[in-house]
Amino acid sequence: MFYNSPKHKHSFCAIYRGAGGAGDATGDSASEALLVRELAAEVEIDAAAAAAAKLAAEAAQAAAEAAQAAAETAEANAETAETNAETAETNAETAATNAASSASTASTKASEASTSATNAASSASAASTSATNAASSASAASTSASNASTSATNAASSATAASGSATSAASSASSASTSASTATTKASEAATSATNAATSATAAQTAETNAETAETNAETAQAAAELAASNASTSATNAASSASSASTSASSASTSATNASNSASAAATSATNASNSASAAATSATNAAASATLAASYTPSQTGHAGEYLTTDGTNTSWAAVDALPSQTGNSGKYLTTDGSTASWATLDTDANSTTKGLYEHSNTISANYSITSGNNAMTAGVITIASGVTVTVPTGSYWVIV
């Protein structure tokens, strides 16, 4: 059975249909170049945005540092105010202690003045008693004078006593005057002490008021410091956020620049590919034109030739019926044969032990390992050579005869 195949084979090449799908490589290259320029413009915009974000981050960082410095200054002022308040409070406590001491001293001086006044009154009373006694003694002396003879001694004694009483009276009067003067001095000192105590109390009250004012100022400064610290923390957070945003923008800009570079490289590659594709397209167009010319010269009409194949006699092409295989159903293990007109399946006789040729031929060299089937015998004619490394296996009960 023969298979008549065509002598001419033709390959059909796909024509370039680039990004625009129009098949125009030059136009597609221009479109890709325009895309590259647009990507480059976007990269420049991203880079400008990243630079602006970086400047904003630096400004925010500077503001945060200034706020931090202001917060530290406010905190230092608050500590100073607190120290001043503590000092004022200590001064107030000292002034209060001094006022209490002055008041105690004034009370003591007043008590001493009262005691001196009492002593002066006692001395005055004693002087009055002494004067009365002196008068009584004088009266007694006058009475006794008439009784001079009997009372001379008594008169002298009385006179002496009167003189002593008078002296005592004078001393008592002097003591009373001194006591009165001392009482006046003590009263003056007590008044001075009371004035000092009042002044100290006023100073203590003023110091206490100043301490309260300083404490209020300290609390206000502390609140301002806390607010400044909070503002500084917020500014620092904002600065960190801005710095993070700037870093992200810079990273995005870098990525965009890389993408733009890759796109530019891809565009250059695409341009090269477009040029190559244009050249290939031109070649394909030339081949297509040649193929069209050839196709027009040898392709016969397809009408009424369904299922047939194209063949040629070397000059003209024509359609011919395919010599199809007979049905394969129920013909497993058979081989295809023909009587010169019709193909059919035939059974292969694997047990044939006869030939019409008058002889059998076989190789005189065994080049591959061979095992005789168990239960079978084998025969070799003439001298036989077994190649180096090759083994012939004869099972038990089987024979290999060389004749």
Place of tokens 């060389």: 402
267 lies in the same domain as 369: no
48 lies in the same domain as 161: yes
* CA 226 to chain centroid: 24
CATH code of 54's domain = 1.10.287
Residue 379's pLDDT band (cuts 50, 70, 90) = very high
Burial 125-155 (b: 16+ CB within 10 A, else e): ebbeebbebbeebeebbeebeeeeeebeeeb
Q: Residue 16: its pLDDT value, please? A: 46
**Average pLDDT, rounded, for the chain:** 76
Q: Say which residue, 366 or 259, is predicted with more confidence.
A: 366
pLDDT at 13 over 50: no
Residue 12's pLDDT band (cuts 50, 70, 90) = very low
Share of the chain above pLDDT 70, in %: 71
Q: Is residue 175 domain-resident? A: yes
Q: Which of 179-188, 215-224, 318-327, 385-394 has the lowest mean pLDDT?
A: 179-188
Find, among 23, 109, 6, the residue nearest to 284 by Cα.
23
pTM of the model: 0.33
366 lies in the same domain as 260: no
pLDDT in tens, 344-359: 999 887 767 778 888 9
Last residue of a domain, one of 252, 275, 298: 275
229 lies in the same domain as 371: no
Q: Is residue 285 domain-resident? A: no
55 lies in the same domain as 193: yes
Q: Which of 136-150, 168-182, 231-245, 316-330 has the lowest mean pLDDT?
A: 136-150
Q: Is residue 309 domain-resident? A: no
Last residue of a domain, one of 275, 309, 327: 275
Last residue of a domain, one of 214, 247, 275: 275
Backbone angles phi, psi at 115, to 5 degrees: -60, -45
Q: Residue 3: its pLDDT value, please? A: 40
Q: Say which residue, 254 or 24, is predicted with more confidence.
A: 254
Q: How far apart are CA 174 and CA 387, in angstroms?
A: 172
259 lies in the same domain as 379: no
Q: Is residue 369 domain-resident? A: yes
pLDDT at 272 over 50: yes
222 lies in the same domain as 100: yes
Q: Is residue 226 domain-resident? A: yes
Q: Say which residue, 373 or 268, is predicted with more confidence.
A: 373
Average pLDDT over residues 77-85: 83
How many domains in the chain?
2
Q: Is residue 317 domain-resident? A: no
154 lies in the same domain as 265: yes
74 lies in the same domain as 220: yes
Q: Are 32 and 270 in contact (CB under 8 A)?
A: yes
Q: Is residue 327 domain-resident? A: no
270 lies in the same domain as 142: yes
Q: Residue 123: its pLDDT value, please? A: 63
pLDDT at 5 over 50: no
What is the span of the domain harbouring residue 380?
A: 361-403
